């Protein structure tokens, strides 16, 4: 029998997309993008937003500080190493929030203790000093023993007890390298609750990585054992194989409330919109078969499945598309649609657009409608993803013509403005995209290395838009660019230039680049 929901325990959702998620190579977001994602997280009901690592850079500090000041409901958390300077900087960044939190950590496993070359006693002393210092600044302190799942159990008991006695209000147990399994994850939380003095006075959290594909299962197992906070990211974004996916744990608890009688405060109808937005700003597209938010999550091609769906949707769907904010209608827009219809459709898809942005999107919508007979939801989403950013306009493609065929080499004629001045060139290459990229590089020489080039068809048909993602690296700075067009080569050129524009911004702000501090694999 299902437990009455009014009496169910609340599971706190702690989102670290802007901190742990952004550490994924190439996923760096701009200041404006961080603020936008934080606002969406706050609006959907995330309890705690880990906004960044303030000591890492001036840029991170400013982003955390502004997110803290603007948050309406969520607790705003900053991360700090077990160092007094880190903690002070973190507090300066989050103290403007209505509900601030300091999250401090240290690696407690034998492998991690060897990095600062601390003995067990020396590490225990540092934990006491730093957690006490954090609690003297803020009454909401979270502490994490990094790589907890590979830490000796007796030592883990000891340091968790020290952190609790020093004032930590939340103890997070990170599976930093995705090493544990569900039974072990549950067992560890249960043992900590049973054996650590003071464990009944604080909240236990779980933070799982997905290296073995078990992050969601491990998080849910920890909750069943007594953890009441799940640390996760949108789309499971994160280093290596990523983190626990917010949408997966939220919908698992909602759909299987009969066997996991816990509640969250998440408005699940907002999941799809924020998933799309995070994919766009991070440059990490969602795989088609990704649970909950993948393009195929509610698609049915098998004849047996289609027949069952027509008779009763519950035959092959355990949740409704609208439960996660997926629009039921698709093909409704065309070249005769007006601004009001476009605004209404964008709102259905989860986008709130101001008058100026609507004007820009409408112009590009009309241009697309002249080339495409049918405008699908995904076409509109692609338009929103490629809305122009004024700071990214130092380089701009004016005209591109490509000559290609079975007889090489291929030729690209490019006209591009650089800081307002027109330049043109003709270059060859091994294919039309290579020729185009060579032309851009001829007009704007650079040493950035192309790390990733991806093309995705937005919809079906030969007139489908292509969404192109480009990732580039220069001197440790990693940037992504995206663009969409019915011409794949044009989309490629615009994405390449978009990435270069972002690189120029990063060059100008190199003094606040994340390369200032190494903090990979924290928590």
The verdict on 267 and 402 lying in the same domain is no
Query: Which whole number is the average pLDDT over 415-432?
Result: 95
Whether omega for the bond prior to residue 499 falls within 30 degrees of 0, making it cis, is no
* Host domain of residue 164: 9-282
Q: Where are the beta strands (DSSP E) in 209-331?
A: 229-232, 262-263
Number of domains within the chain: 4
Tell me what the pLDDT averaged over the chain comes to: 88
Residue 328: predicted pLDDT? 56
Residue 446 assigned to a binding site? no
Pairing of the two strands 75-81 and 48-52: parallel
Question: What count of residues does the chain have?
Answer: 523
| CA atoms of 65 and 41, how far apart (whole Å) | 16
Pairing of the two strands 141-146 and 466-474: unpaired
Which tops the pLDDT comparison, 459 or 34?
34
Please indicate, yes or no, if residue 288 is contained in any of the structural domains. Answer: no
- Give the pTM: 0.82
Residue 243 assigned to a binding site? yes
The verdict on 149 and 196 lying in the same domain is yes
Please indicate, yes or no, if residue 495 is contained in any of the structural domains. Answer: yes
Residue 95: predicted pLDDT? 98
Residue 168: predicted pLDDT? 98
Query: Which whole number is the average pLDDT over 105-129?
Result: 95
pLDDT at 209 over 50: yes
Burial 24-44 (b: 16+ CB within 10 A, else e): bebbbbbbebbbbbbbbbbbb
Domain-ending residue, one of 255, 282, 309: 282
**Residue 442's closest CA among 430, 426, 431, 453?**
426
Least confident of 17-21, 237-241, 298-302: 298-302
The verdict on 505 and 368 lying in the same domain is no
Residue 37: predicted pLDDT? 96
Between the alpha carbon of residue 135 and those of residues 64, 103, 160, 229, 307, the distances in Å are 19, 10, 15, 20, 60
Please indicate, yes or no, if residue 97 is contained in any of the structural domains. Answer: yes
| CA atoms of 144 and 146, how far apart (whole Å) | 6
pLDDT at 316 over 50: no
| DSSP type of residue 459 | S
Please indicate, yes or no, if residue 520 is contained in any of the structural domains. Answer: no
Query: Which whole number is the average pLDDT over 447-475?
Result: 86
**Residue 402's closest CA among 432, 429, 440, 442?**
432
Identify whether the C-beta of residue 452 lies closer than 8 Å to the C-beta of residue 396.
no
Please indicate, yes or no, if residue 229 is contained in any of the structural domains. Answer: yes
Please indicate, yes or no, if residue 456 is contained in any of the structural domains. Answer: yes
Query: Which whole number is the average pLDDT over 57-82?
Result: 96
Residue 230 β-bridge partners:
13, 206
The verdict on 195 and 341 lying in the same domain is no
CA angle 38, 44, 47 (to 5 degrees): 75
CA angle 295, 296, 302 (to 5 degrees): 155
Least confident of 200-214, 237-251, 469-483: 469-483
Question: Residue 93 sits in a domain of what CATH number?
Answer: 3.20.20.70
Query: Which whole number is the average pLDDT over 368-386?
Result: 76
Continuous segment of H or E residues that includes residue 141: strand 141-146
The verdict on 112 and 187 lying in the same domain is yes
| CA atoms of 221 and 94, how far apart (whole Å) | 31
Helices (H), 80-175: 84-94, 110-113, 120-137, 153-165
Domain-ending residue, one of 339, 360, 387: 387
Which tops the pLDDT comparison, 176 or 309?
176
Integer distance in angstroms from the first to the last C-alpha of the chain? 37
Residue 172 assigned to a binding site? no
Residue 392: predicted pLDDT? 56
The verdict on 247 and 137 lying in the same domain is yes
Which residues, at least 6 apart from 268, have a Cβ–Cβ distance to it below 8 Å? 250, 251, 254, 323, 324, 325
The pLDDT tens digits for 177-196 are 999 999 999 999 999 999 99
| CA atoms of 369 and 349, how far apart (whole Å) | 18
Please indicate, yes or no, if residue 516 is contained in any of the structural domains. Answer: no
The verdict on 444 and 455 lying in the same domain is yes
The verdict on 46 and 175 lying in the same domain is yes
Residue 209 assigned to a binding site? yes
**189 in the Ramachandran plot: left (φ > 0), alpha (ψ -120 to 50) or beta?**
alpha
Residue 227: predicted pLDDT? 98
Please indicate, yes or no, if residue 522 is contained in any of the structural domains. Answer: no
Between the alpha carbon of residue 485 and those of residues 383, 397, 521, the distances in Å are 9, 13, 37
pLDDT at 122 over 70: yes
The verdict on 263 and 334 lying in the same domain is no
The verdict on 314 and 271 lying in the same domain is no
The verdict on 165 and 314 lying in the same domain is no
The verdict on 91 and 214 lying in the same domain is yes
Domain-ending residue, one of 387, 407, 424: 387
Question: Residue 412 sits in a domain of what CATH number?
Answer: 3.30.160.270
């Amino acid at each position: 029998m299902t437990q009455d929901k009014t009496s169910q325990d609340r599971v706190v959702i702690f989102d670290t997309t802007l901190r742990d998620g952004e550490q994924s190579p190439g996923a760096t977001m701009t200041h404006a993008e961080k603020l936008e994602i934080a606002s969406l997280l706050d609006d959907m009901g995330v309890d705690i937003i880990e906004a960044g690592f303030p000591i890492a850079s001036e840029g991170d500090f400013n982003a955390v500080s502004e997110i803290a000041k603007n948050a309406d409901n969520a607790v705003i958390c900053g991360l700090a190493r077990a160092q007094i300077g880190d903690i002070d900087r973190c507090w300066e960044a989050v103290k403007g929030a209505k509900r601030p939190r300091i999250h401090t950590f240290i690696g407690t496993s034998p492998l991690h203790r060897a990095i600062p070359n601390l003995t067990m006693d020396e590490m225990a002393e540092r934990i006491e000093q730093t957690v006490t210092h954090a609690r003297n600044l803020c009454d909401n302190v979270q502490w994490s023993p990094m790589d907890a799942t590979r830490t000796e159990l007796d030592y883990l008991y000891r340091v968790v007890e020290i952190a609790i006695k020093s004032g930590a209000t939340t103890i997070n147990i990170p599976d930093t390298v995705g090493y544990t399994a569900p039974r072990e994850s549950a067992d560890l939380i249960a043992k900590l609750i049973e054996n650590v003095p003071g464990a009944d006075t604080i909240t236990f959290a779980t933070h799982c990585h997905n290296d073995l594909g078990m992050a969601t299962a491990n998080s849910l197992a920890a909750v069943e054992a007594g953890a009441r906070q799940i640390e996760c990211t949108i789309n499971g974004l994160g280093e290596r194989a990523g983190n626990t996916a917010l949408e997966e744990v939220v919908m698992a608890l909602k759909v299987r409330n009969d066997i996991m009688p816990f509640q969250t405060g998440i408005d699940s109808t907002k999941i799809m919109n924020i998933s799309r937005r995070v994919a766009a700003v991070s440059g990490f597209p969602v795989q088609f078969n990704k649970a909950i938010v993948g393009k195929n999550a509610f698609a049915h091609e098998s004849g047996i499945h289609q027949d069952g769906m027509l008779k009763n949707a519950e035959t092959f769907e355990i949740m409704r598309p609208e439960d996660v904010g997926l629009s039921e209608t698709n093909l409704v827009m065309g070249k005769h649609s007006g601004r009001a219809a476009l605004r209404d459709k964008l709102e259905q898809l989860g986008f709130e657009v101001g008058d100026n942005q609507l004007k820009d999107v409408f112009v590009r919508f009309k241009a697309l409608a002249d080339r495409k007979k049918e405008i699908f939801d995904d076409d509109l989403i692609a338009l929103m993803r490629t809305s122009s950013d004024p700071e990214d306009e130092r380089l701009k493609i004016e005209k591109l013509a490509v000559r290609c065929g079975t007889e090489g080499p291929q030729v690209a004629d490019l006209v591009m403005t650089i800081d307002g001045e027109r330049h043109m060139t003709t270059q060859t290459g091994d294919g039309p995209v290579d020729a185009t990229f060579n032309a851009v590089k001829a007009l704007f020489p650079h040493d950035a290395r192309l790390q990733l080039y991806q093309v995705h068809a937005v919809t079906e048909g030969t007139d489908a838009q292509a969404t192109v993602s480009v990732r580039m690296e220069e001197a440790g700075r990693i940037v992504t660019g995206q663009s969409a067009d019915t011409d794949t080569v044009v989309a490629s050129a615009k994405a390449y230039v978009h990435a270069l524009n972002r690189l120029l911004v990063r060059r100008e702000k190199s003094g606040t680049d994340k390369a200032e501090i190494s903090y990979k694999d924290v928590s």
